[in-house]
Amino acid sequence: MLHEIILHSRRILEQVLAAHGPEQTAVAWTGGKDSTVVLWLWRSLLRERGMAPCRAVNLDTGLKFPEVLELRDQVAREWEIDLHVQRPYISLDDYPVAQNKLACCRDLKILPLQQAVGDLHLSALLTGLRRDESPSRCDRQPVEPRESPDHLQVNPILDWTEMDIWACIMEQGLPYCTLYAQGYRSLGCMPCTVAPDQAAGGGERSGRDQDKERQLETLRSLGYF
């Protein structure tokens, strides 16, 4: 089963490679388990074809867990990733972090992401989005046109489950953040990610701020994943 879903994802990535090439394609890499699997899939395909660079975009909001940043830097170095770290153009010193979830995500994630896509001249952005993460993502498609700037958002592991992700990580010996071993299932910014024993409900994203989760569709319309 795992072999089949990997092959399906690879076919999607092969089409992306043929249409966009490595220079105009990047992985939206958070340092989390899902986008790390996508990074591995993309890097493996490029290495098999003898192609480079393996590009990735990381949004460093200034509020990420130190453990996530440590993994990001280690993997980027060991895998020789052409990593672009995009930071917001605002200071957090007097910013009302997480008070208005829509404004916070717009300023710290969406606008920096759009800036990175434009600056890097990307025509395809690969994400670790999965349908079973949230009911609001059940209608998502493998390839979605996005604007500001125009590009394609490609979701190659859209039909993977959380168990598929971990099966792949274990089988392939992929690196993952130590916070998962502490019970975290989904990692966002620190102010909007609660400890496992405080998570509401049993869903994979139950540890995320639920006010923000209820507004995912609105965030998506603004340019969020």
User: pLDDT tens digit string along 189-214?
Assistant: 999 888 777 665 666 555 445 555 55
Q: Is the residue at 220 inside a domain?
A: no
Which has more confidence, 43 or 220?
A: 43
Is 218 among the domain residues? no
Q: Examine residue 22 and say whether the peptide bond preceding it is cis (omega within 30 degrees of 0).
A: no
* Cβ count within 10 A of residue 141: 11
pLDDT grade, residue 114 (50/70/90)? very high
Range of the domain at 165: 2-177
Residue 138's domain is classified under what CATH number? 3.40.50.620
pLDDT at 100: 87
8 A C-beta contact, residue 75 and residue 175: yes
* C-alpha dihedral sign at 208, 133, 116, 46: positive
Average pLDDT, the chain: 91
pTM above 0.85, yes or no: yes
| Domain membership flag for residue 183 | no
**Peptide bond connecting 112 to the previous residue in cis, omega within 30 degrees of 0:** no
Structural domains of the chain, count: 1
Examine residue 169 and state whether it is found in any structural domain, yes or no. Answer: yes
